[in-house]
A = this chain, B = another copy of it.
Amino acid sequence: MKTVNLEQSVGLVETRTVSIPLPPGGLKLENGGVLPELTVAYESYGTLNAERDNAVFICHALTGDAHVAGYHTKEDTAPGWWNDMIGPGKGLDTNLYHVICANILGGCKGTTGPSSINPETRRAYGEDFPSITIGDIVHVHYLFLQQLGINRLHAVIGGSFGGMQVLEWSIRYPEVPKNCICIASAASLSAQALAFDIVGREVITNDPGWVGGNYYGTGQLPRNGLAAARMLGHITYLSPEIMTTKFGRKKKAHAAEDRFSTRFEVESYLQYQGEKFVERFDPNSYLHITHAMDSYDLVETYGELKTAFKDVKARFMVVALSSDWLFPPEQSLEIASAFVQIGKPVSYCLLKAPYGHDAFLVDIEHMSQVICTFLGGCATPNPAMPVVKRDDYDLIANLIEPGSRVLDLGCGNGDLLSLLATNRNTTGMGVDIDLHNLIAALEKKLDIFQDDIDEDLSMIPDQSYDYVILSQTLQVVRRPREVLHEMLRIAREGIVSFPNFANWHNRIKLGVTGRMPKTEALPFEWYNTPNIHMATWTDFLNLCRQDNIKVKKIIPLAESPISRLLVRSGLRNLGAERILVNIARP
C-alpha cells in the first residue's frame, strides 16, 4: 500500500453514474431475461481528444469496480485497484489516453445488479434478477460508451474475468477496439477453476442467511457462506510459492486457538479477506458474476477459437503470468495460438510473475512496460537499442521475395524482421524466449511470440508463412533436426545460418593443438557454450540429403583473409566460418 500521493496519480476522482436509455421493452439479455432500466457507474481520467479516438477502456475483474485509479478523498487509505498502472507517465499514460472503467452488469458498485431496485416492484431484485452472461456485460458497456459518444477505442484491456470481456469485445464489436490486451485470462475456465467456483456458490447458497437470494432488507445475509467462498477464492489467487513466502507455517503470537481453528497466519489472512469481502460485496452479485464466468466458453459457442476470432480486427496482445494456476499460461497460449492459426496479428508474452493470478494487480513493472510499448504510448520510452546489423542480414534479405510472410525463429530484438519489413516489404512474426527482446520487438511494432522454439511450434499452422528464418540459432536448439522439419512444415522455404565447425581455424585448433575450438563464430569455452549441436557444411548437406530437404542455395560466410581465400578457391567447408542455407521442401 502506498500513502496518498496525489501527484503520482490521477488525483481525486469520483465514480459517476449514467442512466442508459433502453428500447421499449427494456434490455434483452442473452439467457432470455429482460431488464427494464439500466444504470452504469464509471470513472474516467485523462482527456478525450478531439478525434475521440484516444479512449482506453478497462474491463475490471470479478469483484473489481470502476474505481481503477486515483483517490476518492484525500483521506483514502488506498487508491483505485490499478493505480500503479494508470496515471500521468505510467504504463497507461493519462497524458495520452482517456482511460475509462465502468462497473459491470450484475455487480454491486453502481451498475444495475441484483441489489438494485427493480422498478416494477420497487424492491431490490433479489431472486428476480435475471441470469447474465459476459456477452450482456460487454453489451452494456458498449451501450454505455455509445451514450458517452465514444465509438472507437484505442484499446480494451482487462485481466482475468476482465480478459474474457476483452475477448468478447473483440468478437462482438470488432470495429470498436483498435488494440486488445488480454491478461491472465482464458477463452473458458478450466475444469479445476470451475470446480472452485462450484464449491464457492455451494457454500453461499447453503448458508441459511441467503434465503434464496431475498435477504435484502431482512437483516439476514449469507455472511459465513460469502466469507468462506472468498477465502477459497483467495487461495486460488496466490501461487503456492508466494503463500509459502508470505505465510508459510508462521503463527500469530496472540491469536486465540479454539478447538478447530489454528493460530496460522494464513488462517487470519483468509478470515480477514473473507470478512472484508462481506462488507463490500453483495452475495447475489458474486453468484451471478461467477456463474456468468463459468458459462463463458468460446469453443462451445463458436466450435473452435479460430472461428470465434475470425472477424476480429484489433491488434491483439495476450499476456500470461508464469505462476498463475487459476488461469494458467497454457490457456493464454491457446488464445494467442488461435490468432496465429488464422494469420491475425498477435503478440504473446509470458511474464515471470511469482505472485500467482493476483500478479496482474501487483507484479506490474514488466507488464506495464509491455502494455505501454504494445500500445505505442510509453511516456518514458526505452532507450533505443543499438542496431547491431549482422552481416548476414543483407544476404538473408536478398533471399526473400518482396511482400512475403516471414516467421523469424529466435528473432532477438527484431532487427532482421524490421529490416525485412522496410527493405522487402514483408509481414510476419518473431518468436523469442526473452522478455527484453519481446519489448524491443514491440517497440518496432512487430508481432512477437514469447516462446521456446525448442518446446513446440505446433501452434503455427502448416504452410502459414512463405519463409521461416533460423538465424544463428540451429546450434543452440536441443533438437535441430526436428526444428528444421518444423520450418518446412510451416513454410515452403527456410533460411538457416549457423557456425561451420569444419572451418580451417577449428580444424587446426582441434587437429594441431588438441583443444576445443574457440573463435569469433564460436566464442565460448567448452564448459559454458550454449552451442550444443555443432555441424559442418558437409554434415548439414548430408542431413538435408538424408531427410529429403532441398538446398536451394548455400552461402559460405567468411571474414578472415584465409577463410575468404579458401572459399574463393572452392574449399567452402574449409573456408566458411558460418553458413547461410536456403532450404525448401523437395
Contact = CB atoms under 8 A, between A and B. Distances in A.
A534 to B, nearest CB: 6
Contact of A199 (B213, B247, B264, B270): B270
B534 A516 contact: yes
Interface stretch (A338-346, A419-427, A506-514): A506-514
Among A198, A227, A501, find the residue whose CB has the most chain B CB atoms closer than 10 A: A198
Contacts of A264: 191, 194, 198, 294
A177 to B, nearest CB: 27
Among A190, A191, A261, find the residue whose CB has the most chain B CB atoms closer than 10 A: A191
Interface residues of A, number: 83
Among A127, A208, A266, A537, find the residue whose CB has the most chain B CB atoms closer than 10 A: A266
A132 to B, nearest CB: 11
Contact of A480 (B205, B208, B480, B527): B527
Nearest to A288: B260
Given A190-B243, A207-B206, A514-B573, A235 B535 contact: no
A131 interface: yes
A501 B501 CA distance: 13
Contact of A192 (B240, B262, B529): B240
A295 interface: yes
Does more than half of chain A's interface fall in helix, strand or loop, or is it mixed?
Answer: helix
A328 interface: yes
Given A199-B235, A243-B195, A536 B511 contact: no
Contacts of A506: 510
Given A232-B232, A501-B516, A240 B207 contact: no
A514 B537 contact: yes
Contact of A198 (B213, B231, B516, B528): B231
B528 A261 contact: no
Nearest to A574: B514
A76 to B, nearest CB: 30
Interface string A264-275: 101100100000
A502 interface: yes
A552 interface: no
A174 interface: no
Nearest to A286: B260
A235 B201 contact: no
A195 B266 contact: yes
A538 B514 contact: yes
A206 B224 contact: yes
Given A235-B196, A262-B291, A514-B574, A532 B532 contact: yes
A287 B525 CA distance: 60
Contacts of A224: 202, 206
A528 B481 contact: yes
A188 interface: yes
A325 interface: yes
A12 interface: no
A28 interface: no
A527 B533 contact: yes
Given A511-B507, A527-B481, A198 B249 contact: no
Contact of A208 (B198, B208, B299, B533): B208
Contacts of A232: 199, 232
A192 to B, nearest CB: 4
B260 A287 contact: yes
A515 interface: yes
Contacts of A299: 249
A198 B262 contact: yes
B527 A295 contact: no
A30 interface: no
Interface in A514-557: 514-516, 525-529, 532-539, 542-543
Contacts of A127: 259
Contact of A206 (B201, B202, B225, B246): B225
Give the top 8 A-B pairs by smallest Cβ distance, nearest first: A532-B532, A502-B514, A511-B511, A191-B243, A206-B224, A481-B527, A514-B573, A192-B240
13 contacts: A131-B259, A192-B244, A195-B266, A195-B270, A201-B261, A213-B259, A240-B325, A507-B510, A508-B511, A510-B511, A511-B511, A516-B535, A526-B534
Given A205-B260, A208-B208, 14 more contacts: A191-B247, A192-B240, A192-B244, A194-B266, A202-B231, A206-B224, A232-B232, A240-B328, A249-B300, A515-B538, A516-B534, A516-B539, A526-B534, A527-B533
